[in-house]
Amino acid sequence: MQIAYLMNTYPVTSGTFIRREIAALEAQGVSIRRFAIRAWDQPLVDHADRQEQTRTTYLLAPGGLRLGVMALQEALGNPRGVLRAAKTAWRLHRNAGSGTFVRHAAYLLEAVHLKRLAGGCSHVHAHFSTNTAAVALLCARLGGPGYSFTAHGPDEFVNPAAASLGMKLHHARFAVAITEFARVQLALAQGMDIWPKLHVVRCGVDVTDLRPAPPPDADAPFVCVGRLCVQKAQELIVAALAQLHQTHPHARVVLIGDGDTRPAIAAAIARHGLDAHVDLRGWADNAAVKDALASARALLLPSFAEGLPIVIMEANALGRPVISTYIAGIPELVDDQTGWLVPAGDVASLAGAMRACMDTAPDDLAKMGAEGRARVETAHDISRSAAALKALFGKFA
């Protein structure tokens, strides 16, 4: 069984969970070919990601002219398939609205290239239900392999009609949701008749590589890991830390990641006079992230929008509690036995949770970490998740 894995931009620093999923499938005997629409335009900080980049074939790499020639050749040799796919691309464009024709024409060209490259594959699996699922759908309509996709959220569920999510589900052999919340969102896009096609396979981590860390030092910082963006709401961490300093003036935060909101976060740090208490580190490789989480008092993730972040699983596996927001799939893993959940955007509640964490006895923090570790072992072991995916590929591919 040979499966084509299709991603949009791959590998990326914030997407190591896909690399780990592929590696776990390969360890269980599944042959995986890696495809992505484009390469990431930023330096990869992790050696494993750099290696993965050399193993990935990029659909846009030949350039527009060569892709156009491929499409013409496909039309001459497979006119019915191209007509069928072109009609589907038009429906995708029509659902998405004006200004999207060129984008969907590009999806058709990418699908032609994928069909040529993935001829030896029995199935295409796309990560995310956005453009990758559209390309997989068009490839199947051309006469290529059937497909499935994994839906994560949250952006995928914002406007399911414009994203043609129902059509993608209708033609897919099956679809994977990473949480029960995501499964419900997929059902809302197409109706309960699609329910038997929907399977929850939770993202996982290598629990053997993430052993529980020793208890944190008394001055251990809070650690936040993720892309610096509005959705992750790291600016609120600075405001909450300013409030926390009224009672705990030595509290510190380490921010690992980079992105659009870095200037605003840096400005907030300066405005509150917290330069000595917030470490804005930028991206780090997997080993450095692991070390930071292992030495943290707790993971801090006050997001506005998420699926279910891998970094929560990593922190739990390392025996660390989590402070996050009760949105999307996060409450399926985090509750008052493993950390603190607060309303998204509520700075006072976030500061209160940080204060409660600072005031919690080390033994109680250890109990929270142990419970989190147990939950990850049960529901988020990457080997178990890979086995579930392998079973689905074996049934439907």
Q: Is residue 101 part of a domain?
A: yes
- Where does the chain have alpha helices with state H? 16-27, 47-54, 64-77, 79-96, 101-117, 131-142, 165-171, 180-190, 234-244, 262-271, 286-294, 310-317, 347-359, 362-379, 382-396
One domain, residues 337 and 386: no
* Residue 128, both tokens: 């995310």
Q: Is residue 211 part of a domain?
A: no
Q: Is the peptide bond before 212 cis (omega within 30 degrees of 0)?
A: no
Q: What is the pLDDT of residue 388?
A: 98
One domain, residues 135 and 255: no
One domain, residues 137 and 273: no
Q: What is the pLDDT of residue 350?
A: 98
One domain, residues 323 and 180: no
One domain, residues 308 and 391: no
DSSP 96-119: H-TT-HHHHHHHHHHHHHHHHHTT
Q: What is the pLDDT of residue 1?
A: 81
Q: Is residue 75 part of a domain?
A: yes
Chain centre to alpha carbon of residue 337: 25
Q: Total domain count for the chain? A: 2
One domain, residues 116 and 260: no
One domain, residues 34 and 108: yes
State how far the Cα of 251 lies from the Cα of 276, in Å rounded to an integer: 10
Q: Is residue 217 part of a domain?
A: no
- Tell me, what CATH number does 290's domain have? 3.40.50.2000
One domain, residues 190 and 248: no
The answer to whether the beta carbons of residues 213 and 319 sit under 8 Å apart is yes
Q: Is residue 214 part of a domain?
A: no
State how far the Cα of 328 lies from the Cα of 307, in Å rounded to an integer: 6
Q: What is the crossing angle of helices 286-294 and 310-317, to 10°?
A: 50
- In the chain, which residues have pLDDT < 50? none
The answer to whether the beta carbons of residues 93 and 47 sit under 8 Å apart is no
Residue 214's CB: how many other CB atoms inside 10 A? Answer: 9
Q: What is the pLDDT of residue 103?
A: 97
Task: Identify which of 144, 107, 154, 102 has the alpha carbon closest to the alpha carbon of residue 124.
Answer: 144
The answer to whether the beta carbons of residues 238 and 268 sit under 8 Å apart is yes
Phi, psi of 86 (to 5 degrees): -65, -40
State how far the Cα of 165 lies from the Cα of 189, in Å rounded to an integer: 6
Q: What is the pLDDT of residue 15?
A: 82
One domain, residues 257 and 199: no
Q: Is residue 209 part of a domain?
A: no
Q: Is residue 126 part of a domain?
A: yes
What domain range includes position 326?
222-379
One domain, residues 145 and 278: no
Task: Identify which of 39, 44, 33 has the alpha carbon closest to the alpha carbon of residue 3.
Answer: 33
What is the CB-side half-sphere exposure of residue 171 using CA atoms within 13 A? 25
Residue with tokens 């019915």: 80
The answer to whether the beta carbons of residues 302 and 326 sit under 8 Å apart is no
One domain, residues 275 and 151: no
One domain, residues 151 and 237: no
